[in-house]
Structure 1
């Protein structure tokens, strides 16, 4: 069996045709494309098919006051129905005119029935609750929307593999968000996720452990250099100190100082050393409190850095 395409494939945006040939390979007849299928007009051989029809544009009528176009939001995994459901308005119609009181009562009844019919099962209702929780935590942590979408997709994968059964929705939602941050290499600690989540740090750790073992999360290694920008922003140091601390963090990662140690402690030590070199006045306690490490930990990493520099 051949593993390659028999005919060379390209794509023409204007006509939706996906091959360059114009003659039938069987009877040398003329090829025509209709509805995404390229077939021979003589023998009827279907040479290729492409189900997306690019030839049909939006329906726009000249007598309409406002041109109507087929538009809509894109599909998103952050909604339980991927954003294809409709929303019923309240007091105004599509033209912006205020509706009557009788129509408002009718819209109220329609919204009530619409809410009841949105979920086909209890699993969909739980999925909607979890996705709303992920969106809320992402907004509280000021995370990019792409991270929220990836966390929602991770939760969907966990639900498909029946990992939610017997576990709380909030725990698995927080674990999905933390797993996405680890996969993206974002310096977010479990305590930060737990501060905005409706669960504890232990539950966030448990949810991440389940997802990591069952789904195989491609978690990035947390290094000192990835923690320096966030820690420098929280401490309010200058750009020169941050640049020097980043150089020290690269040196610590290359020399193996961070092996088996808390990266936040190494990053705090790099910032403290860079502050001393530039004549800053921040103390070890301030950096240790911001990095959520103890002062002896910061001091031990500081001594190791001064021996290498």
Structure 2
């Protein structure tokens, strides 16, 4: 078994205990030397070079599939020390072969673009592992980073910041709900302001567009933080479905609409909650929650009056809902 110890500073560490990674190249996996957890299932080009120089009889192509996560997509050329040609014949001229090896190694490591990609791919892999994102997100982020590097957008800017921004863009493209605050919380030496700046910079320079978040996609996360039940969540989704496309809510933040719908749904279902609790869960202010839920209630009241023959029970007005939950008359609440 061929094992490589990844304890240098350039190699990523375990996302759980920060221990050093040990690569088992023959089994194509890396595991933590401290806790033993398998960190990743692929290895980079440096591992390929070690395997080639070790004289292993296994086929490199069968063990090293190409991947955009590798800085050279696993297509680099290495000259081993066997000094034999393709037909197996011995190559004469040991000194000339040594010169070729040194020249090949120099051309690979001396290219600034290659060094940049190598560091960026390690950063993207490390961040996605720490944040618990899938390999598809990492590959999409790597693709975006390569395009940005090809257009000369990385020069003079933070590699880690651009890598974090590409991960956020990849999450947006693939419809993964990922709050940008997590990057600042779990990744060192990065803050939300820089990541947002690089995110907008990439969208502007590369002429990219990401899909807008829908309020219905945020209901579950806010309800979980506010500890609201499934009945309230379903009612909030019904409310959002009824007000979809209304011009009154045009241009409003999706998270504020989701929070307002949740508060109105909680009033309608009788589940006890407060505007402050939902505001904290949605990272908004109570004033925003109050404005949004009043606007949503107004839209539903107009829809209720226009469709009075509809059999489904529609959410009540804010005053009526508060009266219903507190067993008081609406006149006493005004």
TM-score by length of 1: 0.62
1:87-98 maps to which residues of 2 (within 5 A)? none
Partner of residue 153, structure 1: 143
Q: Deviations over 1:237-287 (max 9, x none)?
A: 322222221222233332244422221111111112222222222321121
Q: Deviations over 1:64-92 (max 9, x none)?
A: xxx99973243222221324679xxxxxx
Distance 1:175 1:261 in 2: 24
Alignment equivalent of 1:274, drawn from 256, 259, 265: 265
Alignment equivalent of 1:296, drawn from 287, 306, 313: 287
8 Å contact kept, 1:80–1:131: yes
Query: Is the aligned partner of 1:202 residue 2:193?
Result: yes
Query: Structure 1: where are the runs of 5+ without partners?
Result: 1-66, 87-114
Query: Is the aligned partner of 1:223 residue 2:222?
Result: no
Distance 1:257 1:135 in 2: 43
Q: Deviations over 1:109-160 (max 9, x none)?
A: xxxxxx9997453332322222222223223333222111101110111011
Query: Is the aligned partner of 1:144 residue 2:126?
Result: no
Partner of residue 183, structure 2: 193
Alignment equivalent of 1:265, drawn from 241, 256, 262: 256
Query: Is the aligned partner of 1:213 residue 2:201?
Result: no
Shift of 1:213: 1.4
Query: Is the aligned partner of 1:245 residue 2:232?
Result: no
Alignment equivalent of 2:226, drawn from 228, 235, 241: 235
Distance 1:68 1:152 in 2: 27
Shift of 1:171: 1.5
When residues 301 and 124 of structure 1 are mapped into structure 2, their CA distance, relative to the original with a 3 A threshold, is same
Distance 2:288 2:121 in 1: 38
8 Å contact kept, 2:183–2:190: no
Partner of residue 111, structure 2: 121
When residues 246 and 128 of structure 1 are mapped into structure 2, their CA distance, relative to the original with a 3 A threshold, is farther
- SS of the aligned residue for 2:62 comes to coil
Bigger mean CA offset, 145-154 vs 174-183: 174-183
8 Å contact kept, 1:223–1:253: no
Distance 2:109 2:265 in 1: 56
Distance 1:128 1:236 in 2: 43
Query: Is the aligned partner of 1:81 residue 2:56?
Result: no
8 Å contact kept, 2:183–2:191: no
Structure that is richer in helix per residue:
2
Q: Deviations over 1:14-37 (max 9, x none)?
A: xxxxxxxxxxxxxxxxxxxxxxxx
Distance 2:198 2:273 in 1: 37
Query: Structure 2: where are the runs of 5+ without partners?
Result: 1-57, 78-104, 301-334
Bigger mean CA offset, 121-130 vs 163-172: 121-130
Bigger mean CA offset, 214-223 vs 189-198: 189-198
Distance 1:274 1:140 in 2: 35
When residues 84 and 269 of structure 1 are mapped into structure 2, their CA distance, relative to the original with a 3 A threshold, is same
8 Å contact kept, 1:224–1:258: no
